[in-house]
Amino acid sequence: MTAVDQNETTAARDTREDFLRLYTRHELALRAFVRACLPHAADVEEVLQEVSLVAWKKFATLEDSTRFARWAFLIARYEMLKFRRAKARDRLVLDEDIVDRLAEEGMEEAPLRREQLEALDHCLEKLPRDRRNLAIAAYAPETSIRGLAARLGRSEGSLYQLLARTRLELLRCVERALAREGGQP
């Protein structure tokens, strides 16, 4: 291997590592945006997979890595709209103007999203163990709410209610934590 080849290999590896570091850092915020638009986990995964592929292919065109979050959000918004056009006929998908607003405002909230995600780690720890396990199990791949409800001897409706209550409790906990950090009463 020549010195030029070696330099190119090193540069490629550095680029890959940079991309992975940036994408991993912002992945949850991107997931949150796509999740807000799509109710089904499989659809969320499909869109996110496209987002990561497109972002990787175009990563070389990103000149300023500090703008990665906004850049990746634009890709996610585009992929979200593409998915919407392809699937809107056979399922309930938010209209384009609403997706646009969610994306636009979501990009502005990127720093807040990071704070929310950090606070969420502590709030999840505070949640009673059985509630936490149940909430996480409900989101595991291959798990259906119907199957989980049957296994637990509960109705689907009661399980959905429990998940909604858990989601809201976690959100309230996050809001309280951020209010305390911000010095609000």
Partner 1 sequence: MKPHELDLLHGHLNGTLSEADFGGLQALLRASAEARRTLRALATVDAKLQSLGSLNTMPTQLLVMPAPSRARPLYQWLAWSSMAAAAACVALALMGTLSTHVKPSPSRPDLAAEIRSSQNAIGRLSVKPPSLFPVWASPTAALLDQPRIPQ
Binding residues (CB under 8 A) for partner 1: these are: 27-29, 31-33, 35-36, 39-41, 44, 92, 94-95, 97-98, 101-102, 105-106, 109, 113, 116-117, 120, 124, 129-130, 133-141, 143, 145, 147-148, 151-153, 160, 163-164, 167-168, 170-171, 174-175
Strand, helix or coil at 142? coil
> Shortest approach of partner 1 to residue 6 CB, angstroms?
37
> Shortest approach of partner 1 to residue 39 CB, angstroms?
4
The sign of the dihedral angle between the CA atoms of 179, 35, 107, 55 is positive
Beta carbon nearer to partner 1, 12 or 98:
98
Cα dist. 165→88, 113, 127 in Å? 29, 21, 12
> Shortest approach of partner 1 to residue 111 CB, angstroms?
13
> Shortest approach of partner 1 to residue 9 CB, angstroms?
32
Asked if residues 51 and 76 have their Cβ atoms less than 8 Å apart, the reply is: yes
Beta carbon nearer to partner 1, 141 or 185:
141
Beta carbon nearer to partner 1, 1 or 182:
182
Asked if residues 33 and 103 have their Cβ atoms less than 8 Å apart, the reply is: yes
Asked if residues 99 and 81 have their Cβ atoms less than 8 Å apart, the reply is: yes
Asked if residues 89 and 19 have their Cβ atoms less than 8 Å apart, the reply is: no
Beta carbon nearer to partner 1, 67 or 167:
167
